[in-house]
Structure 1
Amino acid sequence: MNQQSHIDLFAGKRILVVEDEYFIADEVRQKLDHLQAVVVGPASSVEEGLVLIEQEKIDAAILDVHLGDEFVFPVAEKLDQLDIPFVFATGYDPAFISEEFSGFAFCEKPTELEKIAKALFASSTSSDWH
């Protein structure tokens, strides 16, 4: 599957975006809207992210690791418990990723949606989404 067909898999998916930098969050939202995804959020804090997970249907998530003075790991833990795929998107060194999440996809900012689509949808579980 080429990158274009991976990125096409965003269409119709409900994507949680957890990002505390307004302009980055808005750029990701616009790109996902263009790909016909439904953006859940964006949430700018762990608390907002957890509330959205409880209140909304979510197919996948894009998580900034560092949100102000907190890390996004409680949101990642909740998504993992619910078997919702996610990627970390951050400008920080991957060494900041908690050991328990070392097997999860990591994408550097600026957010590359092609790479994220491949990480989210190219796994064996992606067949459930076709």
Structure 2
Amino acid sequence: MPALLDGLRILVLEDEFLIAMDVEQLCRDHGAAEVTIAREVAELEGQALPARFDAAVVDLMLGGDSTLDFAARLRREGIPFVFASGYSDSDEVKEAFPDIRLVTKPFAGDDLIEAVAVACGRA
């Protein structure tokens, strides 16, 4: 049985180094071909995201700044994604992105991987 994320190129937008490393390892363990960690949205400015990524895991807050604008860009560009956050009760997120799964930190690895797989239509 192929791994849930087999062959996918995944963007991890996360400013906490250890969490980013954990997510990278989880994705690789579940078959991701490439995992790119970005610690701030500015690192991705001017890049053609669909050419580089099949899916993304997006932290809701990076250094106190909301990533909702970036999430809207992902949606416009057709890249499936999930939010990962320490904040579980974000009404703003539920209103703006009712169809996007929010995986709360600290998360179980299986929950995160399953959420990404579902977002990509694989589970």
Mapped pair 1:100 → 2:101: no
Q: Which residue of 60, 63, 70 corresponds with 1:68?
A: 63
Number of equivalent positions: 121
Indicate whether 1:46 and 2:41 are aligned: yes
RMSD: 2.6
Q: Secondary structure at the match of 2:79?
A: coil
8 Å CA contact 2:50–2:77 kept in 1: the answer is no
Match of 2:32 in 1: 37
Equivalence map 1:101-116=2 (5 Å): 101-116=97-112
Name the CA distance, whole Å, in 2 between partners of 1:52 and 1:27. Answer: 25
Q: Which residue of 1 aligns with 2:81?
A: 86
Equivalent position of 2:7 in the other structure: 12
Shift of 1:117: 3.3
TM-score (normalised: structure 2): 0.80
**Higher normalized helix content (fraction of residues):** 1
Summarize the Cα distance change of 1:51–1:27 in structure 2 as closer, same or farther, 3 Å threshold: farther
Deviation of 1:50 (Å): 4.1
Q: Report the alpha carbon displacement of residue 78 of structure 1 after superposing the two structures with TM.
A: 1.1
In structure 2, stretches of 5+ residues that fail to align are none
Moved over 3 A (4+): 49-56
Q: Is it true that 1:118 corresponds to 2:111 in the alignment?
A: no
| Structure 1 gap ranges (5+) | none
CA distance in 2, matches of 1:55, 1:87: 16
Tell me the amino acid that sits aligned with residue 114 of structure 1.
D
User: TM-score, normalised on structure 1?
Assistant: 0.76
- Percent identical: 32
